[in-house]
Amino acid sequence: MNFQKRRRLANYDYKTSASYFITICTIQRLNCFWKKDVFQNTDAIELTEQGFCVKNAIETIEQAYPCVFLDHYTIMPNHIHLLLTLNDSETSVSSIINQTKGKITRQSGYSVFQKSFYDHIIRTPAEFERVWDYIENNPRKWNEDMYYLQ
């Protein structure tokens, strides 16, 4: 038997109008988006050059996809969190994420991210609020993060 986790919800159309919580990790969880000296002082986060490439790509998602609203995001040392809302989209979540990752790869000259990504479909306003708060507060809790690697 194959007990590997499914990466996407079976029989779900990822073009459906909804909000999605996305997490994308770097290859081998390499800490490459924050300057090392801010790991202990998360009130003064400084992005690396690679982190700025990620920021630029994220902040152009709405321009590239007019039916997508970037509700919130954060860039962590070795992963990013996005809260996206699709409205009558012709493009799937996977296409949006893969093209955004491709833009970052082209800008930096090498692939930074793992092949896939984690997604969660937001089902209620309360869940949306919890995810928004999680994204907002995640940098301050870096040392407690499940992806934390020193």
- What is the number of domains present in the chain? 1
**How would you class 118 by CB atoms within 10 Å of its CB: exposed for 0-12, middle for 13-18, buried for 19 or more?**
middle
Percent of residues, the chain, with pLDDT higher than 70? 79
User: Is 24 within the bounds of a domain?
Assistant: yes
The whole-angstrom separation of Cα 116 and Cα 66 is 24
State the pLDDT at residue 11: 65
User: Which residues have a Cβ under 8 Å from the Cβ of 97 and sit 6 or more positions away?
Assistant: 22, 24, 117
User: Is 2 within the bounds of a domain?
Assistant: no
User: Is 36 within the bounds of a domain?
Assistant: yes
Evaluate whether 89 touches 65 at the Cβ level (below 8 Å).
yes
What's the rounded mean pLDDT across residues 113-135?
A: 93
User: Is 80 within the bounds of a domain?
Assistant: yes
User: Is 149 within the bounds of a domain?
Assistant: no
Q: What's the chain's length in residues?
A: 150
In terms of residue numbers, what domain contains 83?
18-142
User: Is 13 within the bounds of a domain?
Assistant: no
User: Is 136 within the bounds of a domain?
Assistant: yes
Helix, strand or coil, per DSSP, at residue 131: helix
Q: Which residue has the higher pLDDT, 139 or 92?
A: 92
User: Is 7 within the bounds of a domain?
Assistant: no
Instruction: Report the Cα 148 to chain-centroid distance in Å.
Output: 15
State the pLDDT at residue 42: 59
Amino acid at 107: Q
Task: Work out the mean pLDDT of the chain and round it to a whole number.
Answer: 84
Q: How many CA atoms lie within 13 A of 24 on its CB side?
A: 26
Residue 128: which CATH number?
A: 3.30.70.1290
Question: Per residue in 49-103, pLDDT tens?
Answer: 999 999 999 999 999 999 999 999 999 999 999 999 999 778 899 999 999 999 9
pLDDT grade for 5, boundaries at 50, 70 and 90:
very low
